[in-house]
Amino acid sequence: MTAVFDPTPTPPVEILAVLSLLSPEVVRDIEQNWNAPVSDYARHLWRPVARPVSGPAIAARSILREVLRQRLGAIMQPDEIGRTLDEFENRPVIQSGLHCLLLMDRITFDAILLAWLGAVESGQSAFFGFMGATMTMETVGREGPGWLDLGDDKVNLFGLGRHKLCRKSVCVAGPVSLNKRALEAVGDETDGSRWRGTLLASQDKVFGT
């Protein structure tokens, strides 16, 4: 009797079962795109969605558009701003949770890279990121940044001990450029060879914020 082996990998059932309690839609996305190329999954995350229909939602979107218009005005021409805002109405994606001192963490970097790839694959003119300005990343008594209270238990979403997190997080308020010397130093201390070259290739580019 010959055993039949299915080489097609499947999503981890236990992890998806827990994740489905928090976000069923994310689980469906993972299951549908598990064996698809990463670029396909990234493009799926940026799929078009319906515009808001309720009064409060429309008002909130209007406020957000105005804030984005003001920020884009510093780096774009008026016609580019209009096109970018129209794209955002169709695909309103904002990458959040960019706590500055976690940016070099491998998982955080990969999450940001996936979001950026989705923007590229879907032909977006801009990639919006909301940077957190948490004053302290330390936790005390299983409370603070990264702790999810489930009622009868608490889970550390960061997966990092309190001494792994920095005491202060400082976010820049102006244009950002890449520091070649700093990136090379970080690469020497961590397993950064897989992405350091990508960053260094953009060392002379200035990113509007």
* 64-79 per-position pLDDT tens digit: 999 999 989 888 898 8
Enumerate residues 6+ apart whose C-beta is below 8 A from 151: none
- pLDDT, tens digit, 9 for 90 and up, residues 102-145: 555 666 778 888 888 999 999 998 888 876 655 566 667 777 76
- List the pLDDT tens digit at each of the 209 positions of the chain: 455 555 567 878 888 888 888 889 889 998 888 899 989 999 998 999 899 999 999 999 999 999 999 989 888 898 899 999 999 999 998 887 666 555 556 667 788 888 889 999 999 988 888 766 555 666 677 777 677 777 788 887 776 666 666 555 545 445 555 556 655 665 554 455 555 666 666 666 655 54
- Given the DSSP bridges, would you call strands 147-149 and 154-156 parallel, antiparallel or unpaired? antiparallel
Q: Which runs of E-coded beta strand occur in 33-186?
A: 147-149, 154-156, 176-177
0.75 exceeded by pTM: no
